[in-house]
Structure 1
């Protein structure tokens, strides 16, 4: 352990041991003692170690740290994160993902002190320059950072050190720690707000008599006493409450990225400096009341902004906290006895006991018991759902009635809720074009404002030097770049929160913007416009094989499929309690056509007519040639190499809300199209019943893709609605896409938005929220632009004094935030 004597402190750098220049001003207080540093690099690293509670590092080290000039310093507490396994790099619950083959990792971090567009720009640009970083995206609303990097080149400590070097504290994301950090920030901000308010009231007590007395109406000694009292009472607000503005401004200036804190800090410092000088001289105007009021009102707007952010992130917080950390595993099932284990230790096949009031730790199948479960966080469905033996229950569902015994089918990390949380995390990372435009405008706005304030000062100094200083202060204070920065993200955050609470997950940032501009709405049929739960209407035998045997063979071939028609055949076999379902081999799926398999040495095909007919000898006749072409049922044929065996007539009822959804988009003038892999005549009849003008049947996945791409080449903006399983290619190709949500398909979805509730009516709600969100964003941007266009010239002309400027700026931010928060309301008026 190194012992550094007090006399050596000023001769050698306490961090690295190198000599300290006599005129060095770099100092860090460690364990109550001010220590000298040789350079700003050592000062920054040492201060970071102290700020993060690792001061004991200096008491236990056995050698000096390397110099900042020699290498990029990585403090020991940051290196600790590098030793963690990839799955914990950013917290499994946060959706961290590492590809073992390429070491490409997507990790989440919590970043504090994010204030505006300039902060986001600076963080993303700084991390983009790190070797091995492919992308870095900041969500200002949740203060989350997602980094995609090569884990072999860029370590977690590199990310954290780079952020600390530019003034941002960060750590790998953990839901509990993140919540605690937000709560600490709220309490700190509230204390600063309280002190500023107290100072403002006290300063006003001394300022109001001076205003009432007027010029010359108060004794000079008394007026001087009032000024000095105002100065002293302003100091707490300046030194403590205004810290966020000065720290943010210094960080922005140091990194050459002027943000909204720069004009704020300059305005406060200029107003206080000018007032202090006037107090010292005993002549001139003082603005202590304006300074304290400005600090108080701006902190009020920030407090409201923080509250809006917390509300916007509340749905995600609930999701992340819903998956329990432990479960009661029954190792000796069916015998009694449970063991409390971590949810992460559960494996597929484990049996768990879920008591009333507990949430399922993983996706399960009920083995024993009957109960009701609450799926509101997963689907938005507020009513309890009945579950019994054999039913699937997703992880995160809350058991609210009787105890259930369930078998784990997917681990906690792969459960429906975990996948959903990962999708929600992705939803907030990227930014739509409108938000990117607002960020760029706000960044340029600050730089232009500073130059304009200097020009105004020079102009007034030439005309009336006495007014130059207060007018320049008013210009700095009255401007509101934060209104521009907050206009779009607050509205999008509020809208996303509202949608999520209604069972609609917007994964991509452009969903609302693109849906509002869409010219064509393209629907899949099965599982989208129809209920997705077709039933077997009839089984027509076409050969000598008995109906039950035909159904057994078909059920065996479809057991592994998740297609709605396949599930119908399997369910029909179960409903008829058919036993002895045979095993299959050489199973081969043909997308959009059917399945081929070998059962008891015989090759069978099950699917559409053309696919099955290819297996039949040419001489074979088709006994079902007289099938009713006007029937709305879908036909699934079964045959072997010897001939036709059976025809399954399967019908799927329309969703009750399908007619209303189609009518909604027709009223908006959208072009509607129905694409289906089903027979064209069946698809056309469904389209006719719903009033959809264009319908195409017999569409394979590539046909759907080609059709949508053809529309896009013609200038159309296409919104595609499908079931999310068989429509992956066309969902990816559409300008904006929606998948009907289900536990099994959730992880496979390629859509931009998932309708978790499984209700088609959620599409109409998405469209209504999109229209309102775009309207609110336009209102916010128009207000911010109009306010700055009026207020800044008015301040420059001397029509607005500094204290009124502070009121205007604060109210401008409050108006933007409150207008955006309106989107969270889900009532009819919302």
Structure 2
């Protein structure tokens, strides 16, 4: 039967099943439909990009897409952005070239309701953001299937399994290469001994044949990963390191075959095997280096419990963590780790929070306290109510942040990648030039290749140039150092949302600090109280008003009263919170008499026409009933341990420290003097804070802002790097670039120290890789390096970069 090519997928099929459409031919109605879809949407340039390559025909499976719109699927795989859009990571099957990526992105971008569609060609991982009111995920999956591809949700567990399988395959290929190369080396001893002392030609041919048998699986099995990498690179018009390795080994192999089958000269089967083996071993050691860098992430992920015991209608059930809902009651035994954030229901508990905050001593908890996922119950069996699902829990958020940061790139890496793009083309050009000069101009310098003819000498020198060049070291310089830096920062409780902030923090020259919760502990303490009327009824009204507010000042005064009196809550009504001033409310007693209550600062009293003079350098809370002041409280916020040393160390790093606070001048001045800050700004609201940051940036300053409250969120979003303290409000965490889990200024200092150290090693790595190539390539062109030594030195250059990056750990 005759065969014909489909005009869409380019696959051959029997002519008898052909679907004819004017002058076009299709193997199925799916291909016909896709072809006309692309034509209609103006995407027919896809076929120009595709060229002669084949693609899979459209999938006809569409009866299982309903699962993508189910609630359980959304809970497990879909997240919601700050703008209210839906987001998912998909793996798209069938992508094997840049044209496939282009087609999928183009079709998705042109689909109404899809906000963002980015596909990573190397991993086939796609990030899709869409408006759920305009299009459903099932429709997006069908759209992808309609053009011949398939998609499913990215699962980190599956990805880890594939990575483990890939690593195992890599190891087997390397061991095959090592075994064969060791045997070739034994044969080479005989060959090179005979080379200098005289050897029978037939014996030499036997040795060549033995080397051929051993080197062939090394080249075509162990070296397959280089051929594969070179193939995909060429398909995307990129000459990468894999191309240099595979071409250098292949040329040596072909030349050696010529010698084996009757040509004059020496074979280089040993060089073929050693080129592949040395590079494979070097690559494997790189993998080990990377593995040690991500051990922190692996350790965190492996520590997450997979099941939880919940209490439902007094019955215990063991459920997978993804099946536990907000509001469920979880039981935790002594020594068990919490999988969810929640509220303690037991009267007392003690938790090891070292994995979250770095605090070595157990933290005592009381009923109502917050339980963080990833922390360990230290005492008896306790129960707590789940307030955040596993997906939104603290521990899972840490893992997500780490994974995102490890996959991002600093600006300097983009620059290095730009340099390395043209590297391989330059090397091939230099290799060709070397061969021409040596062969046609009779150059006879460098290593004495005894017994070789002129062509062989020229050829081997040119091969050495290809093999010794190392774009790999250049490509590794930034990512391996960033990887180790991010890992070390994570160990210190510092979560960088993207690796690029290492570079920004390393180049920062201005640090702006919020006062409350950043420089100070954010835990106000009553240092002076004046209660003019200690009538228990009036104190109960004060207690009730304090209980209606979550403001730190109100809570601190409430705590003070609890320590002094036994008070009860009264039912208040018309409760109103006046921003930055206090709270007003009303109370009606059993006789029907109404009392007007007021609690807050002096501004609130003035607004309510209460003439009361009170001055203090501390924060103040004043309570009044029916315009009569009943009690006044002065509160002071303790400065964090090591705050003065922190400011001093920042100055030593040539970083200007500025305090930015909404407090009054007297309070701000006192705190600034205690910690050694000369430049401080007081009495500013959230908008003014943000405007101050913008003014600093106009002066070409690289600004880092650290804060913890809702009032800091606008300023944090305006800075170059936003740092949220561990106890920050949710909105401050959402706009931050770095999260300090343990809320310590020492950690903030370490973030600068490790970032600067990491950035220094990135620059060192780039210098090493450029210096290596600048020295070794001219030496190879001059004939001082044989292919064997070239392969070894190329691997060593990559290992030097990895080893140098490991030094980041030494002082971190």
- Give the TM-score of the pair, scaled to structure 1: 0.81
Aligned partner of 2:708 among 719, 723, 732: 723
Paired residues of 2:108 and 2:117 also in contact (CA < 8 A): no
Q: Does 1:529 align with 2:519?
A: yes
Aligned partner of 1:475 among 459, 465, 477: 465
Aligned partner of 1:184 among 154, 160, 165: 165
1:348–1:170 Cα change, 3 Å: closer
Measured against aligned partners, the alpha-carbon deviations of 1:315-365 in whole angstroms (never above 9, x if no partner) come to 2333334443322111235xxx41222333333332221112322232122
Measured against aligned partners, the alpha-carbon deviations of 1:618-666 in whole angstroms (never above 9, x if no partner) come to xx311x43x3x4x4x2113445774555433111111111111111012
Q: Does 1:206 align with 2:191?
A: no
Q: Does 1:551 align with 2:542?
A: yes
Measured against aligned partners, the alpha-carbon deviations of 1:117-148 in whole angstroms (never above 9, x if no partner) come to xx9x99987865452372537699xx795614
1:158–1:785 Cα change, 3 Å: farther
1:158–1:202 Cα change, 3 Å: farther
Partner of 2:39: none
Partner-residue secondary structure (3-state), 2:635? strand
Q: Does 1:704 align with 2:698?
A: no
Q: Does 1:19 align with 2:13?
A: yes
Q: Does 1:750 align with 2:741?
A: no
Partner of 2:643: 658
Measured against aligned partners, the alpha-carbon deviations of 1:281-306 in whole angstroms (never above 9, x if no partner) come to 24223221112112111111221222
Paired residues of 2:547 and 2:555 also in contact (CA < 8 A): no
Partner of 2:257: 276
Paired residues of 1:110 and 1:178 also in contact (CA < 8 A): no
Tell me whether 126-135 or 354-363 shows the greater mean CA deviation: 126-135
Deviation at 1:220, TM superposition (A): 0.5
Aligned partner of 1:318 among 291, 294, 299: 299
Query: Once superposed, what is the RMSD of the aligned Cα atoms?
Result: 3.9
1:614–1:557 Cα change, 3 Å: farther
Aligned partner of 2:108 among 122, 131, 140: 131
Partner of 1:107: 89
Deviation at 1:545, TM superposition (A): 7.6
Partner of 1:571: 559
Q: Does 1:256 align with 2:232?
A: no
Partner-residue secondary structure (3-state), 2:706? strand
Distance of 2:359 and 2:71 partners within structure 1 = 32
Runs of at least 5 residues in structure 1 that lack an aligned partner in the other structure: 1-7, 23-36, 43-67
Deviation at 1:481, TM superposition (A): 0.9
Measured against aligned partners, the alpha-carbon deviations of 1:151-193 in whole angstroms (never above 9, x if no partner) come to 748877589989998xxx9964323223222221221111111
Paired residues of 1:740 and 1:760 also in contact (CA < 8 A): no
Paired residues of 1:241 and 1:295 also in contact (CA < 8 A): yes
Paired residues of 1:724 and 1:750 also in contact (CA < 8 A): no
Alignment of 1:240-255 (within 5 A): 240-255=221-236
Distance of 1:681 and 1:742 partners within structure 2 = 26
Deviation at 1:17, TM superposition (A): 9.3
Partner-residue secondary structure (3-state), 2:498? coil
Aligned partner of 2:664 among 670, 679, 702: 679
Aligned partner of 2:608 among 595, 616, 622: 616
1:426–1:555 Cα change, 3 Å: farther
Partner-residue secondary structure (3-state), 2:343? strand
1:347–1:717 Cα change, 3 Å: same
Deviation at 1:824, TM superposition (A): 3.6
Q: Does 1:484 align with 2:468?
A: no
Deviation at 1:717, TM superposition (A): 1.6
Measured against aligned partners, the alpha-carbon deviations of 1:368-400 in whole angstroms (never above 9, x if no partner) come to 264432323322334433334332211222224
Q: Does 1:149 align with 2:129?
A: yes
Distance of 1:193 and 1:760 partners within structure 2 = 47
Distance of 2:261 and 2:118 partners within structure 1 = 50
Paired residues of 2:88 and 2:153 also in contact (CA < 8 A): no
Partner of 1:227: 208
Partner of 2:679: 694
Deviation at 1:505, TM superposition (A): 0.6
Paired residues of 2:344 and 2:385 also in contact (CA < 8 A): yes
Partner of 2:449: none
1:347–1:11 Cα change, 3 Å: closer
Paired residues of 1:555 and 1:581 also in contact (CA < 8 A): no
Measured against aligned partners, the alpha-carbon deviations of 1:55-92 in whole angstroms (never above 9, x if no partner) come to xxxxxxxxxxxxx9999745478996784347777984
1:497–1:99 Cα change, 3 Å: closer
Deviation at 1:602, TM superposition (A): 6.4
Distance of 2:804 and 2:61 partners within structure 1 = 43
Deviation at 1:499, TM superposition (A): 0.9
Distance of 1:101 and 1:492 partners within structure 2 = 30
Q: Does 1:299 align with 2:280?
A: yes
Paired residues of 1:328 and 1:354 also in contact (CA < 8 A): yes
Paired residues of 2:340 and 2:388 also in contact (CA < 8 A): yes
1:545–1:192 Cα change, 3 Å: same
Distance of 2:140 and 2:287 partners within structure 1 = 28
Distance of 1:338 and 1:325 partners within structure 2 = 17
Paired residues of 1:517 and 1:717 also in contact (CA < 8 A): yes
Partner-residue secondary structure (3-state), 2:521? coil
Paired residues of 2:540 and 2:570 also in contact (CA < 8 A): no
Deviation at 1:734, TM superposition (A): 1.2
Aligned partner of 1:84 among 56, 62, 68: 68
1:80–1:304 Cα change, 3 Å: farther
Aligned partner of 2:503 among 503, 510, 513: 513
1:109–1:82 Cα change, 3 Å: farther
Partner of 1:451: 429
Paired residues of 1:112 and 1:170 also in contact (CA < 8 A): no
Q: What is the aligned residue count?
A: 754
Q: Does 1:738 align with 2:718?
A: no
Paired residues of 2:92 and 2:126 also in contact (CA < 8 A): no
Runs of at least 5 residues in structure 2 that lack an aligned partner in the other structure: 17-25, 32-51, 110-114, 443-454, 589-593
Partner-residue secondary structure (3-state), 1:518? coil
Partner of 2:808: 823
Deviation at 1:476, TM superposition (A): 1.5
1:568–1:346 Cα change, 3 Å: farther
Alignment of 1:564-643 (within 5 A): 564-576=552-564, 578-582=566-570, 592-595=580-583, 606-610=599-603, 612-617=604-609, 620-622=610-612, 624-625=613-614, 627=615, 629=616, 631=617, 633-639=618-624, 642=627
Distance of 1:173 and 1:383 partners within structure 2 = 38
Paired residues of 2:59 and 2:148 also in contact (CA < 8 A): no
Measured against aligned partners, the alpha-carbon deviations of 1:39-61 in whole angstroms (never above 9, x if no partner) come to 9x99xxxxxxxxxxxxxxxxxxx
Partner of 2:784: 799
